[in-house]
Amino acid sequence: MGVVNVTPDSFSDGGAFEDEVAAIAHARRLVSEGAAIVDVGGESTRPGADPVPAPQELARVLPVIEGVADLKLPVQISVDTMKLAVAEAAIDAGATYVNDVSAFRYEPELASLVAERGTDCCLMHMLGEPRTMQDDPRYDDVVDDVKAFLHVRLKAATDAGIAEERIQLDPGIGFGKTLEHNLELLRRLDELTTLGRPIVIGTSRKSFLGRLTGRDVTERVHATVATNVIAFERGARVFRVHDVAATADALTVTAATFARWPPIPTRTTTTTT
């Protein structure tokens, strides 16, 4: 899943793709690098971010979703939103995946929309809300607590009529979690796979990687790749990243090693070693 943030204030790429032409070109590049899903977002959820009113969020994402849909790329278009009005217009414009970091708690009617329209969705764990979520987050056991939350939200989604096979689950790395919480979730990610749905993981460029490596947000590609390799080995199957090329290569090797997929190497190179 490649990230296309159409925002002025996203934590790692804010302002880079505010112009719709640049955002559409970026989506095309991410697909050429191996993305199977492009996730278009118009509201930053970084710690301390201010909420964006629906009309403004819509004005940001809609032209980009329309533009990417017009390209008819072999890719699924996702809208990263908590808002019913934004998701509805995005689906009308060609989105077939709703990535809701509130797991349908912000606007519960969004679950009914996803059910009616038959789109895929991602339900993510977040402790609190973006403005305050990093203020001393606490858990009894972070993995058990996140798992219990995802179980409840999965049930709420199926109760709203969403087919279970349309639902993916995400522990929400960095959303109300300390460095230790994030690492514990990665280390024990396999415990979430027993929920029976594909696990999505979003570590890309996040601040816990900066705390570990001392690197600035633009220099966290290697650390991001490491976390995604770990996550694959622990059972994750959707990887939300800004740096698709590096992650796709690493996951190709990881998948061939741990999942024996694809069964036969399919690429040729110019060297023999």
* Footprint of ligand HH2 (CB under 6 A): 3, 5, 7, 10-12, 41, 44-46, 80, 99, 101, 122, 124, 170, 172-173, 200, 202, 240
Task: For ligand HH2, give the closer residue by CB, 16 or 256.
Answer: 16
Q: What share of the chain is helix, strand, coil (3-state, %, to 5)?
A: 45, 15, 40
Sorted by sequence, the CB contacts under 8 Å of residue 85 that are 6+ apart come out as 54, 58
Question: Is the CB of 24 or the CB of 61 nearer to ligand HH2?
Answer: 61
Task: Name the minimum Å distance from CB 268 to ligand HH2.
Answer: 34
| Residue number with CB closer to ligand HH2 (34 or 198) | 198
29 assigned to active site: no
Answer for the pair 142, 185: CB distance below 8 angstroms, yes or no. yes
Task: Give CA torsion, residues 30, 7, 211, 190, to 10 deg.
Answer: -60
Q: Say which of 153, 166, 205, 240 is annotated catalytic.
A: 240
What residue is closest to ligand HH2 based on CB?
202
- Judge whether 240 counts as a catalytic residue: yes
Minimum CB separation of residue 225 from ligand HH2 in Å reads 16
Per annotation, catalytic residue among 206, 234, 237, 260: 206
Catalytic residue numbers?
206, 240
